Structure 1
Amino acid sequence: MRNIIIVLIAMTVAGCRFPTDSPRVVANVDLHRYVGTWYEIARYPNRFQKGCSHVTATYRMLDDGHLEVVNRCRRDDREQAVAEITGRARAAGDSGDGKLKVTFFWPFYGHYWIIDLAEDYSWAVVGHPRRKYLWILARQPYLAGEVLEQLLRRLEGQGYDASRLIFTDQGTSSGPFDKHR
């Protein structure tokens, strides 16, 4: 009886500490095709992007096979000043899948999981294993409404709450939100 209680307690503790249903990642990501500039279409709110609009991320392949990451945004709380931070990303393993690690403050790395990706690399969705973060990115400052609706449905299917997304002001002439709806 004592062993059964110990096993039940251990299973309960393990179940509380580790997510059992991490999001699925893209099986194959060609980092050479991923390089370039991406526009943020939407994101989950987070402290490090508070007050940001006109958000972009630019990736450049480095000689060691890692990526340089340059994130830029216009800080609305600082008289339209541009904020920029440079980091590095690398594959999290040898599988070539969408699991990357990124750092902006070495030696601390965070999870960067590509959970959805257009076949032509025109848009990408980046998440986190515990669904703490989420970004929808595109090669242009907007996505067609039908594409966005499909992405939102797939995100819900992966356990993300699409209602938490905030849409990024990219300053397009007709307004970034008109093209999302």
Structure 2
Amino acid sequence: MLRIFVIVIIANAAMAQVPFLGTCPNLEAAQNFELDKYLGKWYEVERYFAWFEFSGKCVTANYSLNENDTVKIVNKQISSLTGVATSIEGIGRLIGRSDDSKLTVTFPSLPLPFDAPYWVLDTDYESYTVVWSCTNLGVFNVRNVWILTREPKPPVAVLEKAYQIIDKNNISRAYFIRTDQKNCPGSY
């Protein structure tokens, strides 16, 4: 049993790579979330480091509704080191009410699939979204944050809206990595 617990902790730590001491902060997710408006293609503009996105460029996330009211998630990227395109499919489930912006996401193809938090902190549905994930692991927690936009190269005004949400929630900008969205194939 202890061995399984340790494996789960390591798997969780590996998914979100920025560790912090203490427990996850209690952030407020977006209110009156409209999942149907959120669906579609998003381009990753900035993110915290995560091993599963190591050297990734042209990163996109596409959300669609499954028949059982879960969300089909297809994440794609191209390795800037090898040029190899990869994708992974996940399943998102709303945690609470249908207008709650807190989801849990599972990627069944992973060797140890587990539920990861996926909280939409804010979105205008048309240009940007800020997504938060945090997992408590005893005396520390691991965090990930994504800025996604509907355009691969958004205007500065769109990024400023996202930064306002990040600043409002006291999320450090120091750990953000800009995602390369240049010279991406049309299918991305």
Structure 1 portions without partners, runs of 5+: 1-15, 174-181
Q: Which residue of 2 aligns with 1:75?
A: 79
Matched with 1:50 is 54
Tell me if 1:113 matches 2:116.
no
2:133 aligns to what?
128
Higher strand share: 2
Write out aligned runs for 1:25-174 (5 A): 25-78=29-82, 80-94=83-97, 96-105=99-108, 108-118=114-124, 120-129=125-134, 132-171=143-182
Gaps of 5+ in 2: 1-20, 136-141
Aligned residues: 155
Q: Give the counterpart letter for 1:141 in structure 2.
A: P
The percent of aligned pairs where both chains have the same amino acid is 30
DSSP-derived class of the 1:88 partner: strand
Secondary structure (helix, strand or coil) at the match of 2:81 reads helix
Rounded to whole Å, the distance in 2 between the matches of 1:59 and 1:97 is: 16
Letter in 2 for 1:132: R
Q: Distance in 2 between matches of 1:72 and 1:107?
A: 18
**Which whole-Å CA distance do the structure 2 matches of 1:38 and 1:104 have between them?**
18
Give the conservation status (yes or no) of the 8 Å contact 1:141–1:172. no
Query: Which 4+ residue blocks in structure 1 deviate beyond 6 angstroms?
Result: none
**What secondary structure, in the 3-state scheme, does the structure 2 residue paired with 1:132 have?**
strand
| Residue 149 of structure 1: how far off its partner (Å) | 2.4
Secondary structure, aligned partner of 1:26: coil
TM-score by length of 2: 0.75
RMSD between superposed Cα atoms in Å: 2.1
Larger radius of gyration: 1
SS in 1 for 2:107: strand
Q: Which has the higher contact order (CA 8 A, sep 6+)?
A: 2
CA distance in 1, matches of 2:105, 2:99: 15
